[in-house]
Structure 1
Amino acid sequence: MIIHKQGQQFFKMARLQTFKSAKICIPTVRHYGSVYEPDYLDLLKPDIPEYEKVNIQIKGYDFAILESFQKFVHTIAENMDLEVSDGWALPPQTINVKRFVANSENVETQYTLSVYERNIQVVEVPSTKLSLLIEVIEDSLPAGVKASIHRHTDELEVLRYIPDNELKILKEQLEEMGGSRKKK
């Protein structure tokens, strides 16, 4: 038994030594095309148009599914070498749904639904990759989730920030008292 193990070790060592002495030939391919071509030919190639800022807006009723899908879209965009500049959530919108008894004004049941919204902003997206990203998002949409893709506008920037009502009230009180003092 010991002789057999030593024989295996000797065979392994002999095989390693033959690999060290063997020469590996890797063919080299040289490209001389770019050396002899003038630089102005690169300027003639059409540039791929890019979108500056694209917002991917997803809405849904289930918070956990929406968060998971936002993470998925963010990962897909990064794997496609797209720059994800920002991602944010908007406060949920509540919808009250009432079901009435037939031929009456009595409410049979009442439902309160919350619609959650998440946004992912991608910048400098080539048009060739945007179409592929849209297809991937459409094909992987979970049930109950809606996705829309549009260019970034200033109105969306205003919607992002939640107004602070308490701060507004304090500013109004300050204006009523005569405004703020100016430093000299």
Structure 2
Amino acid sequence: MLSARSCMTKQIRSFASLRDKAIKIDPKYLRQPEIKDHRKYPEYPQISVILQGYDYAPLELFQSYVHRISGRFKFNVVESYAVPGKRERIVLYKPNSSVIDKEYLLTLYQRIIRIENIPSVKLQLFAQILRTHIPIGVDITIKDFTKEDDNCRYIPDLLLKEKQDELKMLDDPIIRKNLGWE
């Protein structure tokens, strides 16, 4: 009986398993090649994200949020700055009269974030995320960067403008003659 059992075990062991039957493949060919995405999307050269609001604190917090989100999207934030506040006077009149009932002074604060090289595919998602998380009382505008956006951040020096106009007037031949210079 012992010999019959050993004979059976030899037969069982002599059957090839599926692993033994499979073709041996070199491990370096088992990995799939990396597929590169060669698609090119048009990019916006520079955009301005303009935030406006009457309340200073939520505006500042949302500006930092926009900065963080643009970092997560791997956008290049060129600069982020505040524009001087614009004061507005609001007058409420009594019904059916010209008598002033209440008067308010409000300041409109504005923050501008300039971002460079944004793929057009990601801009839509970026804008949607900003619109979803915008706090109450804050307005957002996303547009192409223009030079006027940059010029609005400087406060004009009225005295300097006045002196420049005065110098230009001195170039006028009639004024030079009246002054006795010619």
The alignment's TM-score, normalised by the length of structure 1, stands at 0.69
Q: How does 1:124-139 map to 2 (within 5 A)?
A: 124-139=117-132
Helix, strand or coil at the partner of 2:58: helix
CA distance in 2, matches of 1:32, 1:86: 40
Q: How does 1:36-55 map to 2 (within 5 A)?
A: 45-55=38-48
Within the candidate set 100, 122, 143, 2:136 is matched to 143
Listed one character per residue, the Cα deviations across residues 84-142 of structure 1 (whole Å, up to 9, x for unaligned) are 01112111112211111112111011011111111101100011211111011001110
Report what 1:30 is aligned to.
Answer: 31
Deviation at 1:143, TM superposition (A): 0.6
Within the candidate set 76, 79, 86, 2:72 is matched to 79
Structure 1 window deviating more from structure 2 (124-133 vs 163-172): it is 163-172
Equivalences, count: 145
Unmatched runs of 5 consecutive residues or more in structure 2? 1-26, 172-182
CA distance in 1, matches of 2:64, 2:148: 25
For residue 57 of structure 2, what is the amino acid of its counterpart? A
Give the percent of matched residue pairs that are identical in Structure 1 and Structure 2.
Answer: 31
Give the aligned CA root-mean-square deviation in angstroms. Answer: 2.6
Runs of 4+ in 1 over 6 A off after TM superposition: none
Report what 2:162 is aligned to.
Answer: 169
Helix, strand or coil at the partner of 1:157: helix
CA distance in 2, matches of 1:166, 1:114: 25
Within the candidate set 104, 121, 132, 1:111 is matched to 104
Structure (1 or 2) with the larger CA radius of gyration: 2
Deviation at 1:30, TM superposition (A): 3.1
Deviation at 1:48, TM superposition (A): 1.2
Helix, strand or coil at the partner of 1:142: coil
Q: How does 1:146-161 map to 2 (within 5 A)?
A: 146-161=139-154
Deviation at 1:172, TM superposition (A): 4.4
Report what 2:16 is aligned to.
Answer: none
Contact residue 84 and residue 153 of structure 2 kept, 8 A: no
CA distance in 2, matches of 1:175, 1:116: 35
